[in-house]
């Protein structure tokens, strides 16, 4: 098996061709499913279909054939959506005791027709192949931008709930309920404040339990910013009462910095451990030198913590990531001024690393981890005391930075390097940044650094990570 020199070793990439949003994230019968927006015919966006892979640990994936194909004969392609396991056979799609996996997705009729509506399809073979419901569409509001449906079972009312975005203008979300996944009743609408303009995509609505035992709901949306073409992820915290979502006044909050390539994140239904696990698309543009485009982020467990007097979503790499750890190095405590190599040429291996470090920023304006790339280029992932942010500086890209609430003591940084991508989790996951290192993909060494002053390295551990990438 040949793995291309620029293919990430533990981030999910499609074997070939284009991938964008993760879709249909659901656990069923020992398998996590990852469906994804996929062009089966090329390295650029188009012919939208659902690619498919399964895994029992969210890291070691088995690629499977395309699960939902575009339907040009019926005038549409298959855009984003979710999947549920209908254990109670509310839909009637079940057969001889087999619970159906039901995919709920956006059918997009462009360019023939300016329309998107919601369709369903079911699988009786563990999510491998799907049959379209003959009563499609199950929801149509005659709008050119409608759907990206996220569906989940809401036990208190014994209903399926759907969150769907509505319209190409200012952020707008509809909630619907259904007893059977086929018949949907409008519940309520939720609108973005005018202070945060832009079109919404890829909503997710889920409950989280705070450390004090109280429950809050998070509504996460991607926002395409008007005019400039950029896009961000925002979230609201609040309450869901079975009919409507009521956002706290402090919302919305940003989850990643503007310009971060992470997008279209969604969470899993039915994690067997009851965790809320999120995966997002890390956007790449097609390149001649690779046969695929796009990757998925490290799966993260989402939690709720009170930080600086405010409830916030935090994200930590799922515990399963520790099973990737191989060769281990520890750096003894050190005072840092300038740059100190940790691993030099030849030691850096194939370029897949986890670094867990604690820095006492001392008098340094910035401190953190250096990633040495080919041709003497350096990327940095660190903490900037002056601005109170964690950041990634990738070559030839603007800094990506997120505020970190730091109440004194060492700053905790976990940095994952996987050839062309770096993911940083700061302050036990209160701030995260993902960054692409392209085109300088070869990691030849790692170091620690402090700028304009002295910092102290309290601990630094690093692990070479297992290459789990597989080809179809």
Find the shortest distance in angstroms from Cβ 18 to ligand FRU.
Answer: 9
Size of the site for ligand FRU (CB under 6 A): 12
Site residues for ligand FRU, window 78-97 (CB under 6 A)? 79-80
Give the Cα separation of 436 and 422 in Å (integer). Answer: 6
Helix (H) or strand (E) run with residue 125 in it: none
* Ranges assigned E (strand) in 75-198: 77-85, 101-108, 116-123, 131-132, 139-143, 146-154, 159-166, 172-178, 185-191
279 near ligand FRU, rule: CB under 6 A: no
- What token pair was written down for 40? 């089966």
Least Å distance between CB 23 and ligand FRU? Answer: 8
Residue 111 — left, alpha, or beta (φ > 0 → left; ψ -120 to 50 → alpha)?
A: alpha
DSSP-derived letter for residue 69 is -
- b/e map of 192-214 (b: 16 or more CB within 10 Å)? beeebebbbbbbbbbebeeeeee
Q: Is residue 127 within 8 Å of 181, Cβ to Cβ?
A: no
If one asks whether residue 106 binds ligand FRU (CB under 6 A), the answer comes out as yes
The correct pick among 9, 17, 21, 173 for binding ligand FRU (CB under 6 A) is 21
Window 212-251: contact mask with ligand FRU (x via CB under 6 A): ----------------------------------------
Q: Around 271, how many Cα atoms within 13 Å sit in the side-chain half-sphere?
A: 16
Q: Does 37 bind ligand FRU (CB under 6 A)?
A: yes
Quick check: 297 binds ligand FRU (CB under 6 A)?
no
Our finding on whether 402 is near ligand FRU (CB under 6 A) is: no
Please tell me the distance from the alpha carbon of residue 243 to that of residue 202, in angstroms, as a whole number: 20
Could you tell me which residues are beta bridge partners of residue 435?
Answer: 422
20 contributes a contact to ligand FRU by CB under 6 A: yes
Considering the complex, state which of residue 92 and residue 144 has its C-beta at the smaller distance from ligand FRU: 144
Write out the binding residues for ligand FRU, residues 312-351 only, by CB under 6 A.
none
Out of 9, 25, 26, 48, the residue judged to bind ligand FRU by CB under 6 A: 48
Question: CA 417 to CA 379: how far, in whole Å?
Answer: 10
Select the residue interacting with ligand FRU from 86, 117, 201, 393 (CB under 6 A).
201
Before 252, cis peptide (omega within 30)? yes
Q: Rounded to whole angstroms, what are the CA distances from 302 to 168, 209, 402, 435?
A: 29, 10, 17, 20
Taking CA atoms, 333 is separated from 358, 408, 448, 456, 460, in Å, by 10, 18, 12, 7, 8
Write down the least CB distance from residue 233 to ligand FRU, Å.
11
Q: Which of residues 147-176 bind ligand FRU (CB under 6 A)?
A: 148
Q: Which of 21, 86, 117, 174 is catalytic?
A: 21
Q: Quick one: 107 or 400, whose CB is closer to ligand FRU?
A: 107
Nearer to ligand FRU, 48 or 232 (CB): 48
Nearest distance, CB of residue 106 and ligand FRU, angstroms: 5
264 contributes a contact to ligand FRU by CB under 6 A? yes
Return the closest-CA partner of residue 277 out of 31, 428, 58, 37. Answer: 58
How far apart are CB 83 and ligand FRU at their closest, in Å?
14
- Is residue 21 flagged as an active site residue? yes
What is the token pair recorded at 191? 């609108």
Instruction: Between 21 and 440, name the residue whose CB sits nearer to ligand FRU.
Output: 21
* 352: Cβ contacts below 8 Å, ≥ 6 apart: 8, 9, 10, 324, 417, 418, 419, 464, 465, 466, 467
**256 closest CA partner among 73, 54, 85, 401:** 401
What x/- string results for residues 110 through 149 when contact with ligand FRU is judged by CB under 6 A? --------------------------------------x-
Residue 53 CA to residue 128 CA, distance in Å, equals 9
**By the rule CB under 6 A, 39 interacts with ligand FRU:** no
> Least distance in Å: CB of 79 to ligand FRU?
3
Q: How far apart are CB 277 and ligand FRU at their closest, in Å?
A: 19
By the rule CB under 6 A, 202 interacts with ligand FRU: yes
Residue among 79 and 236 whose Cβ is closer to ligand FRU: 79
- Rg over alpha carbons for the chain, rounded to the nearest Å, is 22
Shortest gap between Cβ of 283 and ligand FRU (angstroms)? 8
Closest to ligand FRU by CB, 8 or 81 = 81
The footprint of ligand FRU (CB under 6 A) covers 20-21, 37, 48, 79-80, 106, 148, 201-202, 263-264
Active site residues: 21
């Amino acid at each position: 098996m040949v793995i291309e020199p620029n293919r990430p070793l533990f981030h999910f990439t499609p074997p070939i061709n284009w991938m964008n949003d993760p879709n249909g994230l659901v656990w069923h019968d020992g398998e996590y499913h990852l469906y994804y927006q996929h062009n089966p015919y090329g390295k650029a966006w188009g012919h939208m279909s659902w690619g498919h892979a399964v895994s029992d640990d969210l890291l070691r994936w088995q690629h499977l054939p395309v699960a939902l194909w575009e339907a040009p004969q019926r005038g549409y392609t298959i855009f984003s959506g979710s999947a549920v396991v209908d254990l109670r056979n509310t839909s009637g799609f079940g057969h001889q005791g087999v619970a159906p996996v039901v995919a709920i997705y956006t059918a997009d009729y462009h360019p023939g027709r300016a329309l998107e509506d919601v369709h369903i399809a079911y699988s009786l073979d563990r999510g491998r192949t799907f049959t379209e419901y003959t009563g499609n569409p199950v929801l149509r509001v005659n709008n050119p931008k409608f759907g990206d449906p996220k569906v989940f079972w809401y036990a208190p009312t014994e209903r399926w709930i759907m969150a769907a975005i509505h319209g190409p203008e200012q952020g707008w979300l509809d909630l619907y309920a259904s007893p059977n996944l086929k018949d949907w009743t409008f519940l309520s609408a939720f609108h973005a404040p005018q202070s945060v303009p832009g079109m919404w995509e890829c909503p997710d609505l889920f409950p989280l339990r705070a450390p004090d035992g109280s429950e809050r709901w998070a509504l996460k949306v991607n926002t395409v910013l008007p005019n400039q073409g950029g896009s961000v992820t925002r979230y609201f915290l609040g309450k869901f009462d079975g009919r409507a979502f009521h956002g706290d006044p402090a919302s919305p909050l940003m989850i990643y910095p503007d310009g971060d390539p992470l997008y279209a994140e969604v969470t899993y239904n039915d994690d067997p451990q009851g965790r809320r696990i999120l995966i997002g698309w890390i956007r790449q543009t097609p390149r001649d030198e690779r046969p695929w485009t796009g990757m998925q982020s490290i799966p993260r467990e989402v939690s709720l913590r009170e930080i600086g007097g405010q409830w916030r979503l935090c994200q930590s790499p799922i515990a399963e990531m520790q099973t990737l750890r191989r060769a281990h190095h520890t750096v003894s405590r050190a005072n840092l001024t300038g740059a100190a190599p940790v691993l030099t040429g030849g030691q850096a291996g194939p370029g897949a690393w986890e670094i867990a470090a604690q820095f006492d920023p001392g008098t340094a304006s910035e401190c953190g981890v250096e990633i040495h790339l080919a041709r003497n280029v350096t990327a940095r992932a660190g903490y900037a005391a002056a601005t109170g942010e964690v950041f990634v500086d990738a070559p030839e890209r603007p800094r990506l930075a997120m505020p970190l609430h730091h109440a004194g003591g060492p700053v905790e940084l976990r940095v994952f390097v996987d050839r062309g991508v770096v993911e940083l989790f700061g302050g036990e996951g209160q701030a995260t940044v993902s960054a692409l290192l392209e085109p300088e993909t070869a990691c030849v060494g790692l170091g620690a650094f402090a700028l304009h002053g002295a910092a102290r390295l309290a601990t630094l551990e690093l692990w070479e990570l297992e290459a789990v990438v597989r080809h179809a």
